Amino acid sequence: MLEYPKGENQEKLIDFSEFHIQEVLDEGAYGQISKAVWRNDVVALKRLKSNREEKHIINEH
């Protein structure tokens, strides 16, 4: 588990290719939740739709 000292707001960018998606758990208007493996740990991966995709969806309606 990644842990940071309390009171410090830090972000860590992880290359998407490090995740091995096992299955899609749920999908909604803003993105998708998948079960994935990252460094031998099972994790929940939330992928957000980009603004470009959102604009495309809005234009269709």
Q: pTM here?
A: 0.60
Query: What pLDDT shows up at residue 49?
Result: 84
The pLDDT of residue 4: 57
- 57: pLDDT strictly greater than 70: no
pLDDT per residue as tens digits for the range 27-48? 998 899 999 999 999 999 998 8
Greatest alpha-carbon pair distance for the chain in Å reads 46
**What is the pLDDT, as a whole number, of residue 61?**
45
Report residue 2 as tokens: 């990644």
Domains and CATH numbers, the chain: 16-60 (3.30.200.20)
What mean pLDDT do residues 1-17 have? 71
Above 70 in pLDDT, residue 2? no
Q: Token pair of 40, please?
A: 């031998």
Query: In what order do the strands lie in the sheet containing 31-38?
Result: 19-27, 31-38, 41-48
25: phi > 0 → left, psi -120 to 50 → alpha, else beta; which? alpha
